[in-house]
Amino acid sequence: MLFARRHPPPEFQPVPQGAELIRFEHLKKAFGPKVIYEDLNLTVNAGETLTVIGGSGTGKSVLLKCLIGLLRPDAGRVVFQGHDLTDFREEDFLEVRRKVAMVFQGSALFDSLTVGENVAYPLREHFPRMKLAEVRKRVAEKLALVNLPGIEHQKPSELSGGMRKRVGLARAIATDPEVILWDEPTTGLDPLTTETIDSMIKSMKEQLGCTSIVVTHDMSSAFDVSDRIAMLARHRILEVGTPEQMRASTVPEVRAFLDARPPVQLPPEEP
């Protein structure tokens, strides 16, 4: 949905590779009586691939949605390129969503549209004056980048699950975003397709220089694609480290998750 802008759009300044790009600061979030976050803190650096792991219902995907304004935290701040997004109006998030693209778990393609029309959708939203020839060129380039050249006229129903994931990625990168959010990218995929998607995550960093936040419970993928891994449990980030550091972790919840054991039952914290 497009909005008539009532004030100048936010100005985002480029961030050098390795510098802080995103900060989740003292986040609190609940859905009714169900507490999701209590004082969650996490930073993401420009150019890195950071993977968030954790059990079902811990709020991994909620974190992504708070970044692009699909959900709002109850307290705390979400900072992107120096801007506090918790103060943003809906119209301000249009620019955020151009810079931060999300690859949804189920691909979220429009079945009534062709592949080409799906990939072009964000271009129509963010660049309504872009000429048709440029749109077609951009769509062809992005499909080629995910190794699906020439399928613009096919429908999503004609594609395999892995191909749909890749079309979803082509749509996400159509606007040349600086950040890609991956919501459970390998869920429900066979091992060969999972390997293909993992390769795509790594290639986006190598070819486009994108920052990626990956949400997954697939530890094989997490170790393969990540520069750093963050463990979400007990309503907060318990530990952050490189794959090697996480493999050596002695934090009980991390060890239980990595070893695929039932979660450790710890006594509640003192208020």
Q: Contact, 240 vs 51, CB < 8 A?
A: no
Residues near 247 by beta carbon (within 8 Å), at least 6 away in sequence: 223, 258
Residue with the larger pLDDT of the pair 9 and 245: 245
Residue 108: pLDDT over 60: yes
Task: Please give the structure tokens belonging to residue 215.
Answer: 């949400």
Confidence of residue 192 (pLDDT cuts 50, 70, 90): confident
Give residue 9's pLDDT. 65
Instruction: Enter the pTM of the model.
Output: 0.87
* Residue whose structure tokens are 């497009």: 2
Dump pLDDT digits (tens) for 144-154.
998 999 999 99
Task: Please give the structure tokens belonging to residue 3.
Answer: 């909005």
Dump pLDDT digits (tens) for 200-221.
899 889 888 899 999 998 899 9
Give the domains, in start order, of the chain with CATH numbers.
Answer: 20-258 (3.40.50.300)
